[in-house]
Amino acid sequence: MKTILSTDKAPKAVGPYSQAVEANGFLFISGQIPINPATGSVVEGGISAQTEQVMINIKGILDEAGYGFKDVVKCTCLLDDMDNFKAMNDVYSQFFTSEQPARAAFGVVKLPLGVMIEIEAIAAKP
């Protein structure tokens, strides 16, 4: 059985997908981009500001579903420029202060709405 999750603490889905799906004790969070859910606009300020907004969006979904960053077991980070890896990592590490999840990071040609970063996450209940 699966449960579709939606919250106003993260941007609304801009296509035929859910913000997150919970199934068999796992929470699968769709790729989050740096849209401020209150304004519906992409945040400005470069990779650090965009990474912070993405992580805030992920936190909103985790909170809504009753999970926390300590429950995240895997993240996938997509960057439009791998030269931004260190700056992204500096912000990302502020949210995963212990029990860091497994992770992959990829450089991609282009992301939705011209953003610099997208992150998806998978969390599991202990």
> Helices (DSSP H) in the chain: which residue ranges?
46-65, 85-95
The 10s digit of each residue's pLDDT in 33-62 is 999 999 999 999 999 999 999 999 999 999
The residues spanned by each domain of the chain are 2-124
Sequence letter at residue 53: Q
Q: In angstroms, rounded to a whole number, what is the distance separating the alpha carbons of residues 78 and 69?
A: 19
Sequence letter at residue 106: F
**Residue 38: predicted pLDDT:** 96
Mean pLDDT of 15-43: 96
Is 2-124 assigned to CATH 3.30.1330.40? yes
Query: For residue 126, is pLDDT > 80?
Result: no
Average pLDDT, the chain: 96
**Residue 1: predicted pLDDT:** 85
Burial letters 79-101, b for 16+ CB under 10 A, else e: bbeeebeebbeebbeebeeeeeb
